[in-house]
Amino acid sequence: MDLEKLRVFYIVSMEGSVLRASYKLNIAQSAVSRTISLLEESLKSKLFIRKHQGMVLTDTGKILLDKTLDILKLSREAEQMIEDFNKKPRGNLLVYSTAGLINHWIMKFVPGFLEAYPDISLILHGTSNLTLENNEADVCIGYLPEEEASDLETVYLTTLVHRLYASKKYIDKFGKPKSFDDLKNHRLLAYSLSNPSALKNADWLFEKLKRHKPYLQINSADGLIRAVKDGLGIATLGENVIQSDKDGLVEILPEYGGQEINLYYYYRPHMKYSKRVSSLADYILENLPTKK
């Protein structure tokens, strides 16, 4: 039982007809029939019931079709891996990340990356659903959910520190918290307490304060920083968000040190050797600014 015989079997199963399968495969009808007969002889089992309306799978045929789908998928993946490994990175690269990370961190690398990899067509998609299940993304960049880590290829990129910030306007009106526990007496802003697991670290403050109700929830990094600047309350902001936009912001409880959150580049295992898929991670790691 070889791969080409399984391809013919698959096409006959999908078309439900030896004649239609021969047209699709561009081979003689007799060659298709002979291939199916050889498969049946090697397996010592009938794969199809031949009826007037076409070829209908037997129970044995259904079992073989199920496994054939897996085999053909693995074959395509292997071909893609070898092709990607042997050639210069090219083609579409679809990357999922949060809108905040795209706007305030990933975009810093994009101009140089596109210049270094002119044959890559980069597609950045902002979403809070940082998962590779049931989507067409090649890569995710974000805070990797623990339950997914073991099933993926992961590349550690950097550690971002989230600290507490308020505006001078807020401090003039409500004063500064005197301690971490005193935060319960202030207006606290949340990214969104209904975050999926990939973003749960964005609101670590509320995990620690327990049951404290936020003054405002807004699932937008740009919206959150605007709310802080407008004096609506205190929020945890990542250094990637406020690095170039600190005007009017005051760090709250700097002695606390903030929360460190690891940022990962992750993709499916079968793309491990793909230069196209790894190209952006390679570029980011080569061009990360040195932390002081």
**Phi, psi for residue 151 in degrees, rounded to 5:** -100, 5
Beta carbons within 8 Å of 229's beta carbon, 6+ residues apart: 167, 247, 248, 249
Identify whether 292 is part of a domain. Answer: no
Range of the structural domain that residue 150 is part of: 91-157+263-287
Say how many domains are in the chain.
3
Same-domain pairing of 236 and 175: yes
Instruction: Based on the fold, state whether residues 236 and 279 are members of the same structural domain.
Output: no
* 196 lies in the same domain as 209: yes
Point out the domain boundary residue: 32, 51, 86.
Answer: 86
E strands, 89-171, are 91-97, 120-126, 139-142, 153-167
Question: What are residue 123's DSSP bridge partners?
Answer: 94
CATH classification of the domain holding 133: 3.40.190.10
56 assigned to some structural domain:
yes
Nearest-angstrom CA–CA distance, 151 and 199: 19
**Distance, C-alpha 211 to centroid of its chain:** 31
Closest among 185, 261, 191 to 226, alpha carbons compared: 191
Q: Of the candidates 20, 21, 23, 26, which has an alpha carbon nearest to the alpha carbon of residue 9?
A: 21
Asked whether residue 224 is domain-assigned, the answer is: yes
**Which pLDDT value is given to residue 148?**
66
Residue 126 has pLDDT above 80, yes or no: yes
pLDDT of residue 243: 61
Nearest to 46 by CA among 35, 36, 31: 36
State the CB neighbour count (10 A cutoff) for residue 11. 18
Encode pLDDT of 226-252 as tens digits: 999 999 999 988 877 766 556 778 999
Residues 192 and 146 in one domain: no
Task: Look at residue 278 and tell me if it is in a domain.
Answer: yes
Output the furthest CA–CA distance in the chain (Å, rounded): 87
Give 46-50's long-range contacts (Cβ < 8 A, gap of 24+). Answer: 47/9, 48/12
Same domain, 123 and 62: no
Within 13 Å of residue 66, how many CA atoms lie on the same side as its CB? 6
**CB-based contact 161:238 (threshold 8 Å):** yes
Q: 153-212, pLDDT tens digit by residue? A: 999 999 988 889 999 999 999 999 999 889 989 999 987 655 555 455 556 677 777 767
Structure tokens at 287: 């061009």
**Is 117 contained in some domain?**
yes
- In this structure, the answer to whether residues 65 and 98 fall within a common structural domain is no
In this prediction, residue 79 carries a pLDDT of 81
- Average model confidence (pLDDT) for the chain? 86
Same domain, 274 and 147: yes
Least confident segment among 95-99, 141-145, 260-264: 141-145
pLDDT of residue 211: 63
Integer CA distances (angstroms), 75 to 66, 90, 209, 252, in order: 15, 21, 51, 55
pLDDT at 198: 47
* Length of the chain in terms of residues written: 292
- Specify the DSSP element, H or E, that contains 13: helix 3-15
Looking at residue 144, what is its pLDDT?
78
Task: Average the pLDDT over 62-81 and give the result.
Answer: 87
Tell which of 53, 70, 86 closes a domain: 86
Q: Tokens for 22, please give them.
A: 């021969």
Q: Among 69-78, 84-93, 184-193, which is the least confidently predicted range?
A: 84-93
Asked if 270 and 239 sit in the same domain, the reply is no
Q: How far from chain centre, in Å, is Cα 4?
A: 34
Residues 137 and 125: their CA atoms lie apart, in Å, by 9
